[in-house]
Structure 1
Amino acid sequence: MFTSTGSSGLYKAPLSKSLLLVPTALSLLLALLLPHCQKFFLYDLQAVKNDFQIWRLICGRIICLDLKDTFCSSLLIYNFRIFERRYGSRKFASFLLGSWVLSALFDLILVEAMQYSFGIAAASNLPSGFLAPVFALFVPFYCSIPRVQVAQILGQFSITNKTLIYILGLQLFTSGPYIWIVAISGIVSGMCYRSTALKLQQMLYIPSWAAAFCAWSLEPLFSSSEPSSEARIGMGATVDIQRQQRMELLDRQLMLSQFAQVRRQRQQQGGMINWNRLFPPLRQRQNANYQDGRRSEQQGSPPLEVSEEQVARLMEMGFSRGDALEALRASNNDLNVATNFLLQH
């Protein structure tokens, strides 16, 4: 099953790994060993505005002083590591940098609006930590990750592959009195940076020389090796779950071998890939549809109609329209299977 967070741990996600280890270690160090130094990491906008302590916009927005916020944000960063694998470390870091910078401006605007409208001066002391970019990542998470139903409660409430992530976000959203200001500014900054009309991606980005330097100096420290197939199965699972996961792994390997064989034939003979040959079990999931499809193919009827909404979702994930159309047709409009297969290649 294609999940919202992918698999393989922190493989090909060195930036996510560094954001998990370094701020968490510093947060624990300040909370347990150096509590008298926490005053230097307070996110006090009143001090920024009145005393011109601009350095607080940096120090106050890196390390969480509340361990609950540290735990929730770390779990969310771990789940959002799929964007680093999909877009690359440089583009992922550019999104975090852009949302981090923009959210500081939106924090000031929201705090000034609250003080002017309601006279709440205490809102200038906002929760510290790398929280706004974490909330900003919910924007591509909502727009790019397909929603796949996993279970249903009482026949009315459906549980999807994204439900747990939203619950974690809600927990972080309600962890403090004024954290909703940081959350709103983070989500708005993520929407603004993602928007192509504002062209913020051309102004706030990681330069190529900085990305090359970090890849040379820091990536070896935080890189993770690719896990083996045994590690992906999971040692703590029951025998039935292990057997099912092994069958899914073998089926995936068989599918990949079929794709490689057809791809070699395409390179030797030329022409388009026959996607229908790559998914023989998918056409047999629904016998009625399979029989109708066989009769329609024999009669020369047009190909299976594909939902434009599903095509748009796959194109937002970076796939071409042609690959999205062929994958959805070959998988009988199964967005989960089509996405899983395209991500493998």
Structure 2
Amino acid sequence: MQSSGPAGFSHAPVSKLLLLGMGSCSLLASLLHWKPLLHLQLVPHLTQYHQYFRLLTHQIAFANSGELFVGGMVMYHLRVIERLYGSRKYAAFVFVSSVISTFLELGALMSLRGVGLRYIPAGPFAFIYALLYQYHRLIPVTYRFKFLGINLDDKMYLYLMAGQLILMQFPYSLVPSICGLIAGSMYRSDIASIKQWRFPLVLQRLASRYLRPFLASSPPPRSTAPTWEGRRGGGFGTSSARVEAIDGLRNRRSGGRVQSLLNSISDTTDPSLTREDVNLSPTPTNTPPTAEQISMLQAMFPDQPEEAVTSALQQARNDVSRAVEVLLNRG
């Protein structure tokens, strides 16, 4: 399976909170026999009994241990999206995508009653698939291979696991999954500028003060090897080497122009700005990149044409580390 960066939840506190919360709620629902209160059903729970709490509970816990295990594995591997977005933007994405998908699910329940759709099963199916859409659009393929004459890539393992999650309550789980894909697409398209929304500054400060200390994870051990090749004994042919290179790019932001820009973000009056919202690319250079630099980036981004790789290197002033970030931000 494609590596999602260093093991653990370093730089991913929101993902850690979501997994702990989902596991705890699923366990409590099982022990206290609350499972019948989790699924979302229009008639009679919403229309007659007015159990509007189901709009929330149907997305916070799975109904059985198999779904919890598979869903937890998928969410764990998708923590790479939080490392790419930043925790503030990722938390906003979780809220926005959950709200949009809930409205879409209600619409599906009302419009598809005639074909037998009676309820939406318990579990964050919609959020997982909204997150999976971001993964599909943002994370490049590391390697490709053929199986029985079919062209496949390293991202298919995560897709197969997500597909297994749908099959556990098929066909009812198919509806929230589709709603999640639509919500993820709407967020990625920035409809009504929803990508710019962030939680209020007061809530961000409270979370940083009271939640972050409990969710903080120690950073992964750093290699003492002077080069990336020395760390892995080779180039960027494996996904783990590529992800370590990208993660090392973020870890080394301790000084220079990038750090000064990040410091300026925290001093602005708009705390919602993240590193993705600021152009961190230096002024392009006219010096052509070397063939070795181009081949190195093409090995990391096989889907990118040579012109795009060359343009990224020139924009990064022939700095391979910065060129990696330029290509990732192009998404």
* TM-score normalised by structure 2 residue count: 0.70
Residue in structure 1 matched with residue 232 of structure 2 by the alignment: 245
Match of 2:56 among 55, 58, 76: 58
Distance, in Å, in 1 between the alignment partners of 2:58 and 2:41 is 8
Match of 1:139 among 133, 137, 140: 133
Match of 1:42 among 22, 39, 59: 39
What letter is aligned with 1:214? A
Residue in structure 2 matched with residue 24 of structure 1 by the alignment: 23
The alignment partner of 2:169 has SS state of coil
State the 1:21 CA deviation.
1.8
Moved more, 13-22 or 65-74: 65-74
State the 1:208 CA deviation.
2.1
State the 1:185 CA deviation.
0.9
What letter is aligned with 1:87? Y
Larger Rg: 1
Residue in structure 2 matched with residue 10 of structure 1 by the alignment: 9
State the 1:193 CA deviation.
2.3
State the 1:101 CA deviation.
0.6
Residues 328 and 165 from structure 1, CA distance in 2 versus in 1: closer, same or farther, beyond 3 angstroms?
Answer: farther
Do structure 1's residue 339 and structure 2's residue 324 form an aligned pair? Answer: yes
Unmatched 5+ stretches in structure 2: 224-229, 236-240, 258-282, 297-304
Distance, in Å, in 2 between the alignment partners of 1:340 and 1:222 is 26
Residues 194 and 218 from structure 1, CA distance in 2 versus in 1: closer, same or farther, beyond 3 angstroms?
Answer: same
Residues 276 and 76 from structure 1, CA distance in 2 versus in 1: closer, same or farther, beyond 3 angstroms?
Answer: farther
The alignment partner of 1:151 has SS state of strand
Residue in structure 2 matched with residue 167 of structure 1 by the alignment: 160
Distance, in Å, in 1 between the alignment partners of 2:150 and 2:47 is 47
Residues 111 and 15 from structure 1, CA distance in 2 versus in 1: closer, same or farther, beyond 3 angstroms?
Answer: same
Contact 1:14 1:222 in 2 (8 A): yes
Distance, in Å, in 1 between the alignment partners of 2:103 and 2:208 is 30
Contact 2:131 2:184 in 1 (8 A): yes
Match of 1:110 among 108, 111, 117: 108
Residues 284 and 221 from structure 1, CA distance in 2 versus in 1: closer, same or farther, beyond 3 angstroms?
Answer: closer
Distance, in Å, in 2 between the alignment partners of 1:284 and 1:324 is 11
Q: What are the Cα deviations for residues 189-226 of structure 1, in whole angstroms up to 9, with x where unaligned? A: 11122222432335x64222212211111111111111
The alignment partner of 2:47 has SS state of helix
Q: What are the Cα deviations for residues 70-108 of structure 1, in whole angstroms up to 9, with x where unaligned? A: 112211211111111111111101111111011111111
Distance, in Å, in 2 between the alignment partners of 1:208 and 1:157 is 49
The alignment partner of 1:21 has SS state of helix
Distance, in Å, in 2 between the alignment partners of 1:206 and 1:252 is 31
Do structure 1's residue 196 and structure 2's residue 190 form an aligned pair? Answer: yes
* TM-score normalised by structure 1 residue count: 0.67
State the 1:325 CA deviation.
4.9
The alignment's C-alpha RMSD in Å is 4.1
Contact 1:103 1:185 in 2 (8 A): yes
The alignment partner of 2:110 has SS state of helix
State the 1:109 CA deviation.
0.9
Distance, in Å, in 1 between the alignment partners of 2:137 and 2:124 is 22
Residues 133 and 325 from structure 1, CA distance in 2 versus in 1: closer, same or farther, beyond 3 angstroms?
Answer: farther
Residue in structure 2 matched with residue 295 of structure 1 by the alignment: none
Do structure 1's residue 217 and structure 2's residue 230 form an aligned pair? Answer: no
Pick the structure with more helix per residue. Answer: 1
Identity score, percent: 26
* Equivalent residue runs for 1:250-265 within 5 Å: none
Distance, in Å, in 1 between the alignment partners of 2:91 and 2:25 is 20
Residues 252 and 55 from structure 1, CA distance in 2 versus in 1: closer, same or farther, beyond 3 angstroms?
Answer: closer
State the 1:58 CA deviation.
1.0
State the 1:15 CA deviation.
0.6
Distance, in Å, in 2 between the alignment partners of 1:131 and 1:284 is 39
The alignment partner of 2:34 has SS state of helix
Contact 2:313 2:319 in 1 (8 A): no
Do structure 1's residue 85 and structure 2's residue 48 form an aligned pair? Answer: no
Residue in structure 1 matched with residue 73 of structure 2 by the alignment: 75
Q: What are the Cα deviations for residues 138-196 of structure 1, in whole angstroms up to 9, with x where unaligned? A: 22112111123243324x32332311111111111222130001101111111122222
Residue in structure 1 matched with residue 273 of structure 2 by the alignment: none
Residue in structure 2 matched with residue 181 of structure 1 by the alignment: 175
